[in-house]
Chain A
């Protein structure tokens, strides 16, 4: 089962525009992570935000986390054609006995048109 649901499922924007995607989850988390995947290849880690953080920046990426609403958003500013990919949120419930286990959302497919 998927912990996170992402919205929208697909997004098409022009180069230079901002892209925003949202993720909702169901259970308490220790952290929430965002990953990028290009054309069915491996996932690349983008950013991790801990449950006690509300906002985090990394380059052109901005992530927010609202634990009261169990939701997160990823903003990519000044998008480039190379940002075309699928973006996934993943939650880590962090129960030590359960080991490492990420539960992924369904992903948002982003197309950046030159």
Chain B
């Protein structure tokens, strides 16, 4: 089974621009979560989607948004980039039903640098 695939792996953007990151979950996984990792704040939850619905959102400004498509692939968008948005963005997929709490499978991440 292919793992979680994130594209692109590296990005360099200029302040004020916007960026879109993509995540393809493991086949059959309907839950996709996004996390931001920085040296100062560590790993922070951004949002989670399940069957195209956002079920939970972390404490991030509205510049951070996401969506999930019918094939479970997900994208996140960051508009009006700021220097502080430089981070490793990680996507995770999970196979969960209502009674089974399982592990998350992470992609290799997208390293975003804002200059």
Contact surface of A with B, Cβ cutoff 8 Å? 1-2, 30-31, 33, 35, 40-45, 48, 50, 88, 90, 92, 94, 96-107
Decide if B96 is an interface residue (CB 8 Å cutoff). Answer: yes
Of the candidate stretches B13-21, B43-51, B69-77, the one touching chain A is B43-51
Question: How far apart sit A88 and B92, CA to CA, in the bound complex (Å)?
Answer: 15
In terms of DSSP, what is the predominant structure of the interface of chain B?
Answer: strand
Total of A-B residue pairs, C-beta within 8 Å: 74
CB-CB under 8 A for A100 and B106, given A42-B90, A88-B43, A107-B42: no
* B55 proximity list for chain A (CB < 8 A): 97-100
* Residues of chain B from 10 to 47 with CB closer than 8 A to chain A in the complex: 31, 33, 35, 37, 42-45
B85, chain A: closest CB distance, angstroms: 16
5 interchain residue pairs of minimum CB distance: A99-B55, A104-B43, A45-B103, A42-B106, A99-B56
Contact surface of B with A, Cβ cutoff 8 Å? 4, 31, 33, 35, 37, 42-45, 48, 50, 55-56, 58-59, 88, 90, 92, 94, 96, 98, 101-109, 111
Q: Could you show 15 A-B contacts with beta carbons less than 8 Å apart? A: A31-B101, A41-B108, A41-B109, A42-B107, A48-B103, A50-B101, A99-B48, A99-B56, A100-B48, A100-B50, A100-B104, A102-B45, A102-B104, A105-B42, A107-B43
Question: How far apart sit A88 and B43, CA to CA, in the bound complex (Å)?
Answer: 9
Question: How far apart sit A42 and B4, CA to CA, in the bound complex (Å)?
Answer: 10
CB-CB under 8 A for A103 and B45, given A45-B105, A50-B101, A94-B101: yes
Most B CB within 10 A of own CB, among A31, A44, A97, A100: A100
* A40 proximity list for chain B (CB < 8 A): 37, 88, 109, 111
Question: How far apart sit A3 and B55, CA to CA, in the bound complex (Å)?
Answer: 20
Q: Are B106 and A43 in contact (CB under 8 A)?
A: yes
Question: How far apart sit A33 and B33, CA to CA, in the bound complex (Å)?
Answer: 16
Residue of A nearest to B111 (CB): A40
Q: Are B42 and A45 in contact (CB under 8 A)?
A: no
